[in-house]
A and B are shown apart, each in its own frame.
Chain A
Amino acid sequence: MGKTTGRSEVPLRRTYRSLSTAGGRLLLLLVLAALAGCQFESSITPIPWPTVGSQPFQQATLGPQPSPVPMAPTPLPTPIPFLGVESLLCGDPKGGDNHFGFCAIPGSDQYYIWAECASACPDGPYPGVELRIVTDSSQLRDYMIILKDLEDAINERKEGRNQGWLLGGLDFLGTVLGFGAACGLGSEFTFGLSCAGWLLTVSAGGIGSYLGFDKAADAKREQQGFEESASDKFREIP
């Protein structure tokens, strides 16, 4: 029994020795590592982070928010309508309208002249109209003559139109309502003196009406030409 026990003790001892040797070495390593770890000192420099100080607590507005109140837009300066001679302190001579015109400044040898702006209007009190103060000159005299012709053309245009409408209206009425009385009807139709007179009258009325409208059309063309001339002459006046 003793031998059997003795034989089995040998490998156990060897195993024990080898384990104890390996364990001892491991233990030694652990002890050395622990000693090295305990001697470690950190060299970290703390970073000073800036922080916001404590904020006072703001109470939220819980009440109803005011609705936007409509406000009237800032009023723009009202443009002053230009009325021609009536807008200025004028003396004689004077002429034109609120489109193109001129007038003498009382107590001086100067004149107001004005014209509709052809393109961009310089800054002035009246929108769309350029107003200048000038002295007497040949160009100013030409401007006055052109404006007189322009006024005549406008008057002719109105007169021609009135003539056309008046004669045309009378002519239509005479034609529509007068043929029965003048010429008779149906079997009673007679081309007598009254019928001939009626025909002549309505024909003359028609021609007169046409001439009136034609005169108005010519005057309108003249008016446009004089307006262009007045605009050009206005810029030539020194």
Chain B
Amino acid sequence: MTQLPRVGQEIRDRFARVSVAGFLILLLWIEFGTGITALMDGNSKGWAYLTIGIATALFWRSRRFWPIVSKSTSASFYPAVALVGNLGMLAMLLIPSLEDATDIPFIFYNAGLTRMFILGAVGSLIAVGALVANVWVYMQDRKRG
């Protein structure tokens, strides 16, 4: 009687860990990436972006992170929400990057625009990886029941 809920909880936790890790890695890439590129372009707003990135990383590693997040991840519809979030972040990164790709090779004439293009392209790859990982874990969990 007590075995089934524990297995179900483990499965749910695994999907939650994978999906949350995907979101946070992508967000940290955006925060640190925009911060560093802004500083390289001489924009002092880069320090603010880096600070937000450090705050995000500290929050992820803090003890209060999972108690807060688990209130969302424990919802039965969380996989659907996570999937929509994955697709949204992918679109947010991929569409501008594809638009920039149509400007090749002119985009490489400017160092700042080149950095922006790389930031978006790598972010798109991370978003695709997070989406694939989420779908794969979800399918595995469905097989296990």
Of the residues A157, A170, A176, contact of B82 by C-beta under 8 Å: A176
Q: Classify the interface of chain B: helix, strand, loop or mixed.
A: helix
> Of all chain B residues, which has the CB nearest A99?
B109
Determine if A177 and B69 form an interchain contact, defined as CB atoms under 8 angstroms apart: yes
Given A169-B30, A172-B23, A177-B20, the answer on whether A162 and B49 have CB atoms closer than 8 Å is yes
The interface residues of chain A lying within 8 Å CB-to-CB of B131 are none
The interface residues of chain B lying within 8 Å CB-to-CB of A179 are 72, 81
Closest chain A CB from B134 CB (angstroms) = 11
Interface size for A (C-beta < 8 A) is 32
Determine if B34 and A178 form an interchain contact, defined as CB atoms under 8 angstroms apart: no
Of the residues B24, B111, B120, contact of A165 by C-beta under 8 Å: B120
Give chain B interface residues in 1-58, CB to chain A under 8 Å: 20, 23-24, 26-27, 30-31, 34, 37-38, 41, 43, 45, 49, 52
> Of all chain B residues, which has the CB nearest A96?
B110
Interface size for B (C-beta < 8 A) is 41
B118 on the interface (CB 8 Å rule)? Answer: no
Give chain A interface residues in 138-182, CB to chain B under 8 Å: 154-155, 157-159, 161-162, 164-166, 168-170, 172-173, 175-181
The interface residues of chain B lying within 8 Å CB-to-CB of A184 are 71
Determine if A162 and B74 form an interchain contact, defined as CB atoms under 8 angstroms apart: no
Among the interface residues B37, B49, B106, B113, which one has the most CB atoms of the partner chain A within 10 A?
Answer: B113
A216 on the interface (CB 8 Å rule)? Answer: yes
Complex CA distance for A178 and B65, rounded to whole angstroms: 11
A185 on the interface (CB 8 Å rule)? Answer: yes
The interface residues of chain B lying within 8 Å CB-to-CB of A166 are 30-31, 34, 49, 52
Determine if A158 and B112 form an interchain contact, defined as CB atoms under 8 angstroms apart: yes
Determine if A162 and B38 form an interchain contact, defined as CB atoms under 8 angstroms apart: yes
Closest chain B CB from A235 CB (angstroms) = 19
Chain A-chain B contacts (Cβ-Cβ < 8 Å), number? 106
Determine if B109 and A173 form an interchain contact, defined as CB atoms under 8 angstroms apart: no
Q: Scan B104-129; emit 1 where CB is below 8 A from any A CB, else 0.
A: 00100111110010011001000000
A222 on the interface (CB 8 Å rule)? Answer: no
> Of all chain A residues, which has the CB nearest B105?
A128
Of the residues B24, B69, B71, contact of A185 by C-beta under 8 Å: B71
Determine if B38 and A165 form an interchain contact, defined as CB atoms under 8 angstroms apart: no
Complex CA distance for A62 and B79, rounded to whole angstroms: 81
Given A97-B109, A99-B110, A169-B27, the answer on whether A181 and B71 have CB atoms closer than 8 Å is yes
Complex CA distance for A98 and B123, rounded to whole angstroms: 27
Closest chain A CB from B55 CB (angstroms) = 11
Q: Which 7 A-B pairs have the closest CB atoms?
A: A180-B72, A180-B71, A176-B85, A99-B109, A162-B34, A169-B27, A169-B30
List, sorted by A's number, 24 A–B pairs whose CB atoms are closer than 8 Å.
Answer: A97-B110, A97-B111, A99-B109, A116-B109, A154-B112, A155-B43, A157-B113, A157-B116, A158-B38, A158-B113, A162-B34, A165-B30, A165-B34, A165-B120, A166-B31, A169-B89, A176-B23, A176-B85, A177-B23, A177-B68, A177-B69, A180-B73, A180-B74, A213-B96
Beyond contacts A161-B96, A175-B85, A181-B69: 19 other A-B pairs, Cβ-Cβ < 8 A, are A97-B110, A157-B116, A158-B113, A158-B116, A162-B37, A162-B38, A164-B92, A165-B120, A168-B92, A169-B27, A170-B52, A173-B27, A176-B81, A177-B23, A178-B68, A179-B81, A180-B70, A180-B73, A185-B75
